[in-house]
Amino acid sequence: MAQNTPSFVRYSFLKAEPEWRRLPALERERGRAEFEAVVEEFAPRMEMHSYSLMGTRGDVDFMLWQISPSLEMLQELWVRAAGTGLGAYLTTPHSFLAMTRPSQYVGGHSHQGQTHHTGSIKPKGDPYLFIYPFWKTHDWYQLASEKRQEIMNQHFTVGHRYPSVKIHTTYAFGLDDPEFVLGFESASPEDFVRLVMELRESTARPYTLRDTPVFTCVKTPLRECLQALG
């Protein structure tokens, strides 16, 4: 995708119904192959990454991270996926839709490995991805822009201390229920935990209305995610 061209970002969290595991093995294999074929067909037109959540969440089994140039392409993907043998047994307990855009607070500031200052999104491919929706309080938007910038500068300072964690900020205003959807890639869950703990003490924290649910995703090839369904 072209540099700075806005993209639609969707995190689709999927769960197989219990009936799926009781199907004959050949029927399950056929359903998995159909689902994988649909994803492979769309892969040249949009960026997709698969993650397992088995062992990290009880309400979802796996997640597909999609970065698409259009909403229509996302819709076409999931209409096709729902028509597969596996798709008939999948539910979507959580789903977040957002867009990319340059951050109003970053400006000319650049942090190595981060992309929110350009408005693009470039996954690193780290083994872990941490995702959560995010809402600010009404009071945040009533602050003077200079005050908000001062508070965000402290945020950036904390983030600089954890270069192993790459943030992907996407904007859901008017598209979905949250205001933002945040994704953090890292090879170190420990670094991410330390980052979040330190940010709890920041000046910006009282202006957080909600930042749950949180999803810990382990990067896994799609075929392995589907085989793990049973």
Q: Model pTM?
A: 0.92
CA atoms within 13 A on the CB side of 44: 2
Q: Can you tell me whether residue 172 is helix, strand or coil? A: coil
Is 89 in the same domain as 158? no
pLDDT digits (tens, 9 = 90+) for 55-111: 999 999 999 999 999 999 999 999 999 999 999 999 999 999 999 998 887 865 454
Domain span including residue 146: 100-216
The domain that holds 123 is classified in CATH as 3.30.70.1030
Give the residue from 44, 75, 98 where a domain finishes: 98
Does residue 40 form part of some domain? yes
Does residue 228 belong to any structural domain of this protein? no
Looking at the structure, do residues 52 and 106 belong to the same domain, yes or no? no
Query: Dihedral (C-alpha) 9, 10, 11, 13: value to the nearest 10 degrees?
Result: -170
Domain's final residue, options 98, 132, 161 = 98
Helix (H, G, I), strand (E, B) or coil at 225: helix
Count other Cβ atoms within 10 Å, centred on residue 116: 20
179 close to 172: Cβ distance less than 8 angstroms: yes
Q: Do 71 and 112 reside in the same domain of the chain?
A: no
Segment 131-165, tens digit of pLDDT: 999 999 999 999 999 999 999 999 899 999 999 99
